[in-house]
């Protein structure tokens, strides 16, 4: 089957897969040849995590048409539950890769549960109300984790809130230590694990978008009243998008956390949610390829500007504003259209 005979959406999906695979091969080749600096290597896993975060949030913001400002809350749930599971299994499962996989699955599960619990009351709201409630959710999660104590001993897991009352046996180990977060994390995350998670996320999102469920979600986004009038269950389909997005954010949180030796709740605050939202807006609503590029570029840019010391973040903000203005310029869009002419939709999909 020739790619040129595929529909525009299918062709875009395969091109996105190809782009991610090509970048992974290039990075692996450069790493094996010793052509990547230590700072660049250290950024690869966080970039993969942010790419998953951006693509998953785009499912809510771009495809579902809802504004969520608490996406870092789901990332936090995935990070702390996933790392807890991986550390609790340290003496049971010897394979680090398997523990990372179990951790990401656990993180995705609990983040999805959190998404459902939040979505039941929240998804009946819309517009600014939804944004405010999801923002509050992110802050609630941060507060809970800051006051959470979790330990493991021969009797299993012990949990305590507000104060450390774990009462563990001798030889027990504290995993989550309240405001101190999780320390002595075994760094299990790798570029390969990040690449696989990005690919799985893209497969899930693209298949969801191109399915009957995805068409129902987009119908709700385009005209809620019309969709409801033909029997589309508004709450059900919004919940599917919201919970799926939360699950992928949870897996990304585990991947991100297990790239560092220490992780604290304040790492997943309101600023992180806004940063991910910037990735989505900069890359284009509903544009998954754009989200990937935006997440990578805007993660690398602050590090690339470190030579400017005090003025680094000022220059970053200015560059971000200029890029936003440029990408929304009708003149620039017209120039790109002349360079890369598009066929009419009917002729293209024929």
Would you say residue 254 has pLDDT above 70?
yes
Domain limits of the chain? Answer: 43-273
Of 157, 137, 160, 152, nearest to 73 by C-alpha is: 137
Q: Could you read off the pLDDT of 291-345 as tens digits, one per residue?
A: 898 888 888 887 777 767 677 677 777 777 777 676 666 666 566 556 544 444 4
Q: DSSP alpha helices (H): ranges in the chain?
A: 8-32, 38-58, 71-88, 96-122, 128-146, 191-209, 212-222, 224-229, 234-257, 270-283, 288-304, 312-327, 330-339, 345-349
Distance of alpha carbon 173 from the chain centroid: 30
Dihedral sign for Cα 253, 256, 258, 262, please.
negative
Would you say residue 7 has pLDDT above 70?
no
Distance of alpha carbon 128 from the chain centroid: 22
User: What is this structure's pTM?
Assistant: 0.86
Report residue 348's pLDDT band, with 50, 70 and 90 as the boundaries. very low
Q: What is the pLDDT of residue 137?
A: 85
The Cα 39–Cα 4 span in angstroms is 40
Q: What is the pLDDT of residue 62?
A: 85
Do residues 322 and 314 lie in contact, with contact meaning Cβ atoms separated by under 8 Å? Answer: no
Would you say residue 156 has pLDDT above 70?
yes
Report residue 143's pLDDT band, with 50, 70 and 90 as the boundaries. confident
Q: What is the pLDDT of residue 75?
A: 92
Least confident of 47-61, 183-197, 247-261, 332-346: 332-346
Q: What is the pLDDT of residue 50?
A: 94
Residue 158's DSSP bridge partners are: 151
Backbone angles phi, psi at 116, to 5 degrees: -70, -45
Q: Could you read off the pLDDT of 33-82 as tens digits, one per residue?
A: 878 778 788 889 999 999 999 999 999 888 888 888 888 889 999 999 99
Report residue 157's pLDDT band, with 50, 70 and 90 as the boundaries. confident
């Amino acid at each position: 089957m020739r790619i040129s005979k595929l529909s525009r959406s299918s062709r875009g999906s395969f091109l996105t897969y190809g782009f991610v695979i090509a970048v992974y091969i290039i990075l692996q080749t450069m790493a094996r040849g010793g052509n990547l600096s230590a700072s660049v290597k250290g950024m690869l896993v966080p970039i993969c995590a942010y790419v998953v975060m951006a693509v998953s949030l785009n499912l809510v913001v771009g495809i579902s048409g809802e504004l969520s400002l608490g996406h870092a809350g789901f990332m936090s749930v995935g990070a702390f539950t996933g790392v807890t599971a991986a550390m609790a299994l340290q003496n049971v499962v010897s394979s680090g890769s398997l523990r990372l996989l179990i951790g990401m699955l656990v993180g995705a599960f609990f983040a999805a549960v959190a998404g459902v619990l939040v979505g039941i009351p929240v998804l009946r709201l819309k517009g600014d109300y939804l944004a405010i409630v999801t923002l509050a959710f992110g802050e609630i999660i941060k507060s809970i984790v800051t006051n959470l104590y979790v330990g493991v001993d021969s009797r299993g897991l012990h949990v305590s809130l507000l104060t450390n009352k774990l009462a563990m046996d001798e030889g027990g180990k504290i995993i989550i230590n309240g405001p101190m977060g999780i320390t002595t994390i075994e760094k299990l995350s790798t570029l390969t694990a990040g690449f696989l998670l990005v690919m799985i996320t893209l497969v899930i999102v693209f298949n969801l978008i191109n399915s009957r469920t995805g068409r129902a979600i987009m119908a709700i986004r385009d005209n809620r009243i019309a969709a409801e009038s033909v029997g589309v269950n508004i709450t059900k389909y919004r919940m599917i998008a919201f919970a799926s997005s939360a699950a992928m954010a949870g897996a990304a949180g585990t991947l991100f956390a297990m790239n560092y030796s220490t992780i604290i709740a304040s790492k997943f605050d309101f600023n992180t949610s806004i940063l991910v939202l910037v990735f989505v807006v900069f890359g284009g609503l509903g544009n998954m390829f754009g989200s990937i590029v935006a997440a990578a570029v805007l993660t690398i840019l602050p590090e690339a500007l470190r030579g400017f010391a005090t003025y680094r973040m000022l220059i970053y903000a200015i560059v971000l504003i200029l890029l936003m203005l440029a990408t929304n310029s009708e003149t620039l869009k017209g120039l790109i259209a002349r360079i890369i002419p598009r066929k009419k939709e009917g002729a293209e999909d024929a």
